Amino acid sequence: MNEVLDIQIERNGPIAIVRVAGEVDLYSSPQLRKVLLDLAGETTRYLILDLEKVTYMDSSGLASLVEGLQRMEKYGGRLLLCSLQEMVQNVFELSRLDTVFPIFEDLETAQSSLSASDE
């Protein structure tokens, strides 16, 4: 496995926050895919993927995220994205995945949305 992305995982009960840094492409996306699929289990009800430090993402990165989303949806989990840089936001819009993923401006807003949905 190519460890080219810097991926930090923070767990807080049913919530996992995953912070990714680097360029997500055909070379590095298997690393992100593995992290997402490992986390996407019954114990992770919510997964927030913080992309603030992702400077580049191609279709292989998008594919990894779609796979993670679909895995989580099978057991009623939710995958949220936050802090997308302009380039990454643009790729989501071009592939119309901005209508599929819940995307938040920053981590705080993403976390607040979970608190609101739990009320």
Partner 1 sequence: MDTFKEEIQLTIPSDARYLRILRSTLESLAVLFNFDETDIRDITLAANEACSNIIRHAYSNRNDRPIFVTIRGFPDHLTIELVDHGKPLDPAKLQARQLTDVRPGGLGLHLIHTLADEVIYDTEFEDGNRIVLIKRRKSGHE
In the complex, least distance from residue 112 CB atom to partner 1, rounded to whole angstroms: 26
In the complex, least distance from residue 30 CB atom to partner 1, rounded to whole angstroms: 9
Choose between 24 and 111: whose C-beta lies nearer to partner 1: 24
Q: 29 near 1, Cβ under 8 Å?
A: no
Choose between 43 and 100: whose C-beta lies nearer to partner 1: 100
Question: What would the 3-class secondary structure string for 26-92 be?
Answer: CCCHHHHHHHHHHHCCCCCCEEEEEEEEEEEECHHHHHHHHHHHHHHHCCCCEEEEECCCHHHHHHH
Q: Which residues bind partner 1 (CB under 8 A)?
A: 2, 23, 25-27, 56, 58-60, 62-64, 66-67, 70, 87, 90-91, 94-97, 100
